Structure 1
Amino acid sequence: MLRVPFVALCAMFLGVTAARSFEPNYDEAKIPQYQLPDTLASSDGASITSSQQWESVGRPATLKLFQDHVYGVSPDPVQQNVTVQGKVVSRKDDALGGRAIRRDIDVTVTHNNASLTMQMLVYTPASSQGPVPTFLGLNFQGNHSVDPDPAIRIPDSWMRNRNNGTTDGNRAIEAGRGVAADRWPIETIVGRGYGLATIYYGDIDPDQDDGFQNGIHGLFADWNASADPQTRWGSIAGWAFGLSRALDFLETDAQVDARNVIVIGHSRLGKTALWAGATDPRFAMVISNDSGCGGAALSRRAFGETVGRINQSFPHWFNDRFQDYNENESALPVDQHQLLALIAPRPLCVASATEDRWADPHGEFLSCVHASPVYRLYGVSGIGLASDSVDMPSPEQPLQYGHISYHLRIGKHDLAEYDWLRYLDFADKHLMKR
C-alpha cells in the first residue's frame, strides 16, 4: 500500500482548496492601484537617455532581475562547453504538393559526454534560390501533429495525456497526426517565401514538476547542483535554452537565413519565445501569441491569471523565488513591459484574443505601450508613431506602425490563421527588405 506523508497530504489538500477558491478578476474597476517600475531608470535612480546607456547599464540590470526573480539563471553554453550537431534523418523535396522541401533533423546538444536530442522539422520553399527568413517555434503535440504526412516521426518523449485519443498515457500515437495543422499553416508560410522550423517542446524538457531531473535540466545535473536553488532555471528558461541551441544549428544550415530567424510561441510557449528573444539577441524578430501572465501581460494588474495562480498550477515554469510574489505582484522588482523592452530594437509582435480574458489582453497591450520608450532610444517607434499616446485597438484592427505590432483577434485562446497573416505582414515589413 502506498503511504503518503501527512505533510504531503496537507499540501495536496491546501492546493486543491486554493484552486477551487480562486476567482479571477475580470473587472477593470477592481484592478489594484499599481505603479510600474521605470524601464529607463538605472539602479541608482539616474535616467537612461541613450541606446548606449541602455545596452551597457539598463539592459544587463533588467535581464538580471528577470533571471533572479522570475525565469531563473540558465547555464552559459560557452562556459559549460556545450556543443550542438545536426543530422538530417529524412528529406522530402516535393512536400506539400511540390511547394516545399521538408527535412526531419536530429539536433543533438552535448554536455560533459551526455547528450539530448531534439527532433526538428524544417520546411523551406521549394522555389527559393537561397537561404530564407525562417520562423522557429515549439509545438505542443509533436511534429507529427503539424502535418498529417505519415512519414513524419512520432516523438517518444513524455507528453501530457490529452484524453482525446491522440495520446496513450503519456505517449504520442498515430491518432495525433495533423491535429494541430490549423495552428501551423505551412503552405501559407512557405508561399510567402519563409521557412518554418518546429520542435516538440517535450523533446527539450518535460512539462511536469519532476524536480528538474529530466530533459535539458537533467543534462545539466552537475550545474543545477551547484546553482542557487532560488534562482536556477525553470522550464520556460529550459525551453528557451533549447530554442537557442536550435538556432545554433540553423546558423549552419544553408537553406535558412540565420540572420533573420523569427522566434514564435503560443500560450506558455509564447512566454518562452519572449524569454528566448530577451536572452538571445540573435533572434531577428519575436512573436508572443496569447502569452498572458508571465508573458506579455502586466503582472501588477492581477487580471485573469495571477502570479499566485500560475505558480500554484505550474510551479516548475519559473524559478523558486518567483513564489515570493504570489498575490504580491507589487513587490516584484520588474514587470512584463520590461521583458518586452529587452527585445528592443528588434521587431516584436504581441497578440491577444477577445475571449481570452484569462491572459489579460489589455495588460498585454499596455506592456507594448510601456516598452516603447526603450525602442525610441534607438531612433525607432514602438507601438505608436511619434509617441505612445495610443488607445487599445478594436478587434482585428492591428497596430503595425512601428517596431512593436499588436493585434486583438476575435475568438478564443488559440494560434489562428489570422494571427499568422499579421505576423507574415510584419515580417515582410521589417525582414524581407533586409
Structure 2
Amino acid sequence: MKTVKIKIAIFLILLSIAVAVHAQNTPPVNFTAEQDHQQMMKQLGIKTLRPGPNGDATAPDHANYDEALANPYPDLPDALTGKNGKKITNAMMWWKQRRPEIVEDMEREVYGRIPANVPKVIWTVKVTDKERVGFYPVIAKQLIGHVDYTAYPLLNVNIDMTLVLPANAKGPVPVLMMFGRSTLPAPAQPNPADLEKINDALKELLTKDHPELKTIFEQYPAYKPIPEQSPFGPSGFPVVKGDPPTASQLIANGWGYVLIDPSSIQADNAEGLTKGIIGLVNKGQPRKPEDWGALRAWSWGAARALDYLETEPAVDAKHVGIEGVSRYGKAALVTLAFEQRFAMGLIGSSGEGGAKLHRRNFGEAVENLTGGEYYWMAGNFMKYGASDATSGAKTANDLPVDAHELIALCAPRLTFISYGIPEQGDAKWLDQQGSYMATVAAGAVFKLVGARDLGITNDYKTEKMPPVNTGLLNGELAWRQHDGGHTDAPNVKYFIAWANKLMHYGKEGAQPAK
C-alpha cells in the first residue's frame, strides 16, 4: 500500500512538471481584437453590449452634450460611507476600512488586479550622455528594464526609459515621470574637429563607391554630410514660442524627468493582450475577467521605473511625480491612485476611465470603454455596458465606485487635474464638467486625511466650474482648465510652482527650502 502511494505521488509530481513544461512551450494565442472581445463576453455570459455614443457631433448616434440630460444618475457612491453603511469619520477609518474597500472594487470591477506572480525587472543603463536641455547641462541616461521571462521564454518584455537630471544640482532632485516615447533630449555630438574628420572620411567613401559624387562635392566644397546640430534657430538665438517645452521648464526649475514608453510595457491595442507584460504573466493565454488591463499594466511599469529611481542617489525618490495626457492621463491617475510611493501627479485631459464620472451622460461613456477600448480595463468592466447578459443588464449606475473615488485614492498626495478647452481641441467628449464634479467630490477625503482640497464645498451638484485660466491651486488637490488644446503643457508652469510650494522646495529643487 505504501509503495502504491509513493508511485502515485511520483506520478503526480511528474505530471505537474509535464504540464508546466507544456505551458511554458505553448505559443501565445494570436487573437484579433474582435476574437478577444468575444471570448471575454463569453466568459462573462454577455450576449449583447450597448453601442457607445459617436464622437462625431453630426452623427445620428452622437454623444450627448446637453447639460440638462447629463446627469441621469445624479447620486454618486459616498466615498465616506463604508459597505456596512456606517460613516467614515476619521483618517484611521479611511486607511483601515474604507480605502481598502474602494481599492477592492476598483481592482475587481474597473481596472483589474496586478497578479502576485509578475516577474522581476532588472534595469541596465544603455547610454549615459552629457547633454543640454536649452541652456542647462544635464546627465541623460537611456535604460532598459529587462523583465524576467524564465517562466515563459516565448515572450520577451523590455521597458524603455530615459532619465534626465540637471548636471549642476547640489543634491537629490524631484523628478516628474512622463508617459511617452523614450528619447534622449539632445545626444552629444563630436567636437567640430572630430566631426570634420568624420565628414572627410564619409566624402572619401562615398566618392569611392559613387565616383559621380566627386563633381558634386567639388561644386559644394563647404557641404557636410553630417552637419553640426544646434539647439538654436537660424538667427543664432533660441526659438521660443509661448512657454518653453515641459522638459526645459522642469530642468530650469531644478527638477529631473523620466520618459517611459507605455508600448514597451503593454501594447495599446486588444491584439496585444496575449503579449506584453499581461501576456507574459498569462503565458500567452487570454485574460480572465479580473485580470489587469493596459492602464493597470502601464501603471505597473511606472512603479518598476520608480524602483530604479530609488537606487539613484541624484533622485529625491520621495518626490517623484507621474504625468500623462489623454489615455496616458488615465494611466497617470491610475498610477497615482494605486502606487502610493508616487508623491504627486499631473493628470491631463483624462476623460472616461480617468477623472470623468462614469455616471455622467456627456461625451465619452462607459459603453465606449466596454466596446473598442475594453482592453484598457478589466474584463469585468464590460458588464456595465451589457444589455443582455446572464447576470442581467447593467449600466454605469451599477458600478460600485466612480471617478471621484479614484481621485480620492490619491489623497493626501499632490493631485493636479488639468484640462484644456474644446475650442482649441480638448474635445467636449472628455467632459471637463464631469471631471470637475469628480474632483470636487473627492475633496472630502482629502480633508478627512489632513490635506487641503480645492477650497470650496464638496457639493458636486452645485459647485460651478471656475473660469478658464483660473486655477484652484491652494491645496494638495488642485484644478486648472487652461485655454489650450489636448495637452497639459500650458499648465506645467503652474504645476511646478504649486508642487514646489507644497513640497517646500527652493527654485533649484535640490534642497528643501528653509
Aligned residue in 2 for 1:74: 114
Aligned residue in 2 for 1:23: 62
Counterpart pick for 1:192 among 236, 240, 253: 253
Aligned residue in 2 for 1:132: 173
Label 1:24 to 1:243 Cα distance change in 2 as closer, same or farther (>3 A): same
Provide, for residues 201-250 of structure 1, a one-character-per-residue CA deviation record: whole Å limited to 9, x for no partner.
1011111112611111122124977x7x1111011111111111111111
Map residues 172-321 of structure 1 onto 2, 5 A cutoff: 185-210=246-271, 212-222=273-283, 229-321=288-380
Secondary structure, counterpart of 2:475 in structure 1: coil
Structure 2 distance, partners of 1:16, 1:368, is 28
Structure 2 distance, partners of 1:224, 1:336, is 30
Gaps of 5+ in 2: 1-30, 39-48, 190-230, 232-240, 387-394, 506-511
Contact persistence 1:290–1:353 (CA under 8 A): yes
Higher RCO (C-alpha 8 Å, min separation 6): 2
Provide, for residues 82-114 of structure 1, a one-character-per-residue CA deviation record: whole Å limited to 9, x for no partner.
433222211222322552211111122325455
Label 1:130 to 1:241 Cα distance change in 2 as closer, same or farther (>3 A): same
1:102 aligns with 2:102: no
TM-score where L is the length of structure 2: 0.70
Gaps of 5+ in 1: 152-177
1:425 aligns with 2:503: no
Map residues 83-102 of structure 1 onto 2, 5 A cutoff: 83-96=120-133, 97-102=135-140
Secondary structure, counterpart of 1:210 in structure 2: helix
Structure 2 distance, partners of 1:311, 1:265, is 22
Moved more, 81-90 or 289-298: 81-90
1:377 aligns with 2:448: yes
Structure 1 distance, partners of 2:150, 2:93, is 38
Aligned residue in 2 for 1:353: 420
Contact persistence 1:101–1:126 (CA under 8 A): yes
Aligned residue in 1 for 2:6: none
Q: How many residues align?
A: 389
Secondary structure, counterpart of 1:313 in structure 2: coil
How much has 1:362 moved relative to structure 2?
0.8
How much has 1:422 moved relative to structure 2?
1.6
Label 1:314 to 1:21 Cα distance change in 2 as closer, same or farther (>3 A): farther
Aligned residue in 2 for 1:170: none
Label 1:386 to 1:323 Cα distance change in 2 as closer, same or farther (>3 A): closer
How much has 1:385 moved relative to structure 2?
5.6
Label 1:199 to 1:17 Cα distance change in 2 as closer, same or farther (>3 A): closer
1:362 aligns with 2:433: yes
Q: Which amino acid counterpart does residue 411 of structure 2 have in structure 1?
A: A
1:407 aligns with 2:462: no
Contact persistence 2:53–2:364 (CA under 8 A): no
Provide, for residues 292-350 of structure 1, a one-character-per-residue CA deviation record: whole Å limited to 9, x for no partner.
00100111112110010233221211011111212821111111000000011111000
Provide, for residues 18-55 of structure 1, a one-character-per-residue CA deviation record: whole Å limited to 9, x for no partner.
75653111111111332100000001100001111000
Moved more, 263-272 or 103-112: 103-112
Structure 2 distance, partners of 1:28, 1:98, is 48
User: What's the Cα RMSD here?
Assistant: 2.9
Provide, for residues 160-214 of structure 1, a one-character-per-residue CA deviation record: whole Å limited to 9, x for no partner.
xxxxxxxxxxxxxxxxxx9xx9995211111101110011110111111126111
1:342 aligns with 2:403: no
Q: Which amino acid counterpart does residue 326 of structure 1 have in structure 2?
A: G
Secondary structure, counterpart of 2:437 in structure 1: helix
Contact persistence 2:129–2:187 (CA under 8 A): no
Q: Which amino acid counterpart does residue 378 of structure 2 have in structure 1?
A: N
Give percent identity, aligned residues only.
30
Provide, for residues 96-144 of structure 1, a one-character-per-residue CA deviation record: whole Å limited to 9, x for no partner.
25522111111223254555221211111112022110001211xx223
Contact persistence 2:51–2:368 (CA under 8 A): no
How much has 1:81 moved relative to structure 2?
6.8
Q: Which has the larger radius of gyration?
A: 2
Contact persistence 1:217–1:224 (CA under 8 A): no
Structure 2 distance, partners of 1:214, 1:307, is 25
